[in-house]
Amino acid sequence: MSDIFKSYDIRGLYPQQINRAVANLLGQAIAKFFLQAGQTKTVVIGGDMRMSTPELRDGIILGLVAQGMKVWDLGLVSTDTVYYASGRYSMPGIMITASHNPAEYNGCKIVLAGAVGVGSDSGLPMIEQYYLALQEDYNSEHSLAVEDKRQILTEYLDYLKRFINPADFQKMRLVIDAGNGLAGKIIPLLLENSPLDIIPLYFELDGSFPNHEANPLKPENTSDLIKRVKLENADLGLAFDGDSDRVFFIDEQGRLIDSSYIICLVAQYLLNKYPAQKILYNAVCSRVVPEVISGFGGQPVMERVGHTFIKNKMRQEDIIFGGEKSGHYYYRDCFYADNAFLTVLIVLSIMTQESGKTFSQLIEKFQTSSILPETNFTVDDQKKIITKLKNIYHDGEQSELDGLSVYYPEWWFNVRLSGTEPLLRLNLEAADDNLLQKKLAELSQLIME
């Protein structure tokens, strides 16, 4: 059963791997971990719109209460709302979600007080040990205590608007695909007093995801949005994942913009306001990212993929902003947590300031190479393949910060194990499309043979 413990969180199939009884044990194990870590005895908890979330929420609360914890129940909220509550009120937090995974999955993300991430390097193994020990002792459920229900969403949105007021935006036409996830609840409230013309797609909360998976990284999940952006002659398209902690941008021509370029755009904006700051990016971002950060007077810092690793690195080095190719964007002013909605506000503020330019024109100065969208391979022995590639490409500059990265003057690649699925992930960048396709064919053959 412990295979529900992943690198960054807990998740599994419902009800085979994770259900009310499992959630009860998880709640107890998490409570033991919180108490051992010297946390407050009050926990903030929220959940997404998945069909299984209410059952798992009740199970986790039962477990927390059984170990003497009190609960602030935030109800149906986005992940960043839980992070805000944890940071603002210095309490540990739990978000019940499986993020971008299909409807049959669920799980939870865990933070210590201050929205400090809990992952495989920072507490999850201890929670797993408590969980396994509790399995042997498990007898019956405790009665569900009346938890303290908190309406914190308005306070959180006001906090975001203090950074950038949507009322100050110029008039723009946006198509926004919420994917039947939490963005459908948050976006109307966040942008209600703005002059934006918003065309909503799939704003109805529905954990069965009837229109498409809430995973914008799969091309089939952004096809409706891209068509609508073109049809409406929109200035911008936005796609969110299920718990709305990730956002992806579609330009006015209907092209999905690589998140590396969004990192560049936000980094430029923040370095203009706060010169010489450190900016973090992960090991699979484009090589243009550190070049842009340095070019605008910042200090680039590379970290491995994964939100707990990035949050902890940012906290250790007091880093103002960080970004991942997967569409996560992290901010010191949001307790070093990822925040898709602040990213949207920043991008719309930039578009307002640069009102004479289209979104594609704002991005084009960063697009100096060809980037392959992250490509997954299902293979039996991922580590053996990584070793093979390390030996074959021994003449390149190599890094093992996260899997294997190999750098050449005209191209580079990274292969790494997935933190959440049994896959080998390939990222590849080259000087032009021809070289990109040549190296993709070469690497694909080596990986699959």
Q: With contact defined as beta carbons under 8 Å apart, do 235 and 253 qualify?
A: no
Residues in contact with 335: Cβ distance below 8 Å, sequence separation at least 6, in sequence order:
83, 84, 86, 87, 88, 114, 115
> Which among 7, 52, 86, 99 is annotated as catalytic?
99
Measured over all CA atoms, what is the biggest interatomic distance in the chain, rounded to whole angstroms? 66
Strands ordered across the beta sheet of 411-417: 370-377, 424-430, 411-417, 404-407, 397-399
Alpha helices in 327-449 (DSSP H): 340-353, 359-363, 382-392, 433-448
Question: Residue 227 is encoded by which pair of tokens?
Answer: 């068509």
Residues in contact with 227: Cβ distance below 8 Å, sequence separation at least 6, in sequence order:
254
Q: How many CB atoms lie within 10 A of CB 437?
A: 14
Q: Looking up tokens 């090589």, which residue turns up?
A: 287
Q: How many CB atoms lie within 10 A of CB 444?
A: 14
Q: Which of 244, 326, 309, 311 is nearest to 79 (CA)?
A: 244
The 3-state DSSP class for residue 420 equals coil
Annotate 387-414 with DSSP letters as a single string: HHHHHHTTTSEEE-SSSEEEE-SSEEEE
Environment class of residue 145 by beta-carbon count within 10 Å: exposed (0-12), middle (13-18) or buried (19+)? middle
Separation between Cα atoms, residue 228 and residue 161, nearest integer Å: 28
Catalytic annotation on 418? no
**Helices and strands per DSSP (H, E), number in the chain:** 14, 21
Q: With contact defined as beta carbons under 8 Å apart, do 384 and 395 qualify?
A: no
Q: Which of 94, 88, 108 is nearest to 44 (CA)?
A: 94
Separation between Cα atoms, residue 360 and residue 323, nearest integer Å: 20
Question: Residue 445 is encoded by which pair of tokens?
Answer: 């053959």
State the DSSP code for 203: -
Q: How many CB atoms lie within 10 A of CB 39?
A: 19
Residues with catalytic function: 99
